[in-house]
């Protein structure tokens, strides 16, 4: 079975405080999307990579590691749908990855893909939650304290049987559903199970300026280990 990966890179990333789209902000002298594509290309499982890029960036040199580049949509869901539309016909398994998690290692792509290939139609990587979380109502009052041993902070790449993720996106369009927090949530809304595999500390999301500092530290640690 063939595995394809859609790297979603069309977000603007205003919280990062940069003039260019987030995926094209540099860390370690390279854009975030470049690092993400390096990892995808080194995966032993991924055979084809699609990048969903911001308008005007489709020909950027940082995307040279992609097999196919398409423009993004008005929402993340729309952008993923654009990527699904150009997958090669023989792609049976689809990984969907956020370029902002640019340092997710190739092994994480491999682990997620392997779990789908083993028979799980929807797979997400997750890490244990270390903070105590509170459910808070509109008045700012705590209404519940979930048991954090049952909680996971979910990362990408997320993996799916192609037929399942295409069905989930089609159903979302029919419902007028545009607010899903991730692709796995669309599968959940079909009433289908989602399996969790171990995530990775390096698959954190670059959202704020301090995340760029953390990413630089991770890259320096990797360079020192070579």
**Model confidence pLDDT, tens digit, residues 18-34:** 888 999 999 999 999 99
Whether 142 is in a domain gets the answer no
Q: Say which CATH number the domain at 80 has.
A: 3.90.550.10
Whether 136 is in a domain gets the answer no
Whether residue 16 is predicted with pLDDT greater than 90 in this model: the reply is: no
Whether 99 is in a domain gets the answer yes
Number of domains forming the structure of the chain: 1
Whether 76 is in a domain gets the answer yes
**Model confidence pLDDT, tens digit, residues 164-210:** 999 999 999 999 998 899 999 999 999 999 999 999 999 999 999 99
Helices 76-84 and 162-175: angle between axes, nearest 10 degrees: 140
Which 3-state string (H, E, C) describes 15-77?
A: HHCCCCCHHHCEECCEEHHHHHHHHHHHCCCEEEEEEEECCCCCCCHHHCCCCEEEECCCCHH
pTM to 2 decimal places: 0.96
Are the beta carbons of 37 and 51 closer than 8 angstroms?
yes
Q: Which domain holds residue 201?
A: 2-126+153-225
Q: CB within 8 A of 90, min separation 6: which ones? A: 2
Whether 102 is in a domain gets the answer yes
Whether 22 is in a domain gets the answer yes
Are the beta carbons of 70 and 140 closer than 8 angstroms?
no
């Amino acid at each position: 079975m063939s595995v394809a990966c859609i790297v979603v890179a069309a977000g603007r990333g205003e919280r990062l405080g940069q003039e260019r789209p987030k995926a094209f902000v540099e860390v370690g002298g390279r854009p975030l999307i470049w690092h993400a594509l390096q990892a995808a290309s080194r995966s032993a499982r991924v055979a084809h990579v699609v990048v969903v890029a911001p308008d005007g960036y489709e020909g950027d040199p940082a995307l040279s590691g992609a097999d196919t580049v398409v423009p993004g949509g008005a929402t993340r869901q729309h952008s993923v749908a654009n990527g699904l539309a150009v997958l090669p016909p023989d792609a049976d398994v689809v990984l969907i990855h956020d370029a902002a998690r640019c340092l997710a290692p190739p092994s994480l792509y491999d682990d997620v893909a392997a779990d789908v290939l083993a028979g799980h139609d929807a797979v997400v990587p997750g890490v244990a939650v270390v903070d105590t979380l509170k459910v808070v109502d509109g008045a700012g009052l705590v209404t519940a304290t979930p048991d954090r041993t049952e909680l996971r902070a979910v990362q990408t790449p997320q993996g799916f049987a192609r037929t399942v993720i295409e069905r989930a996106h089609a159903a979302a369009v029919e419902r007028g559903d545009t607010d899903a927090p991730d692709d796995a949530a669309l599968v959940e809304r079909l009433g289908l199970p989602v399996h969790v595999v171990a995530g990775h500390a390096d698959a954190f999301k670059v959202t704020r300026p301090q995340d760029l500092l953390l990413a630089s530290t991770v890259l320096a640690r990797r360079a020192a280990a070579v």
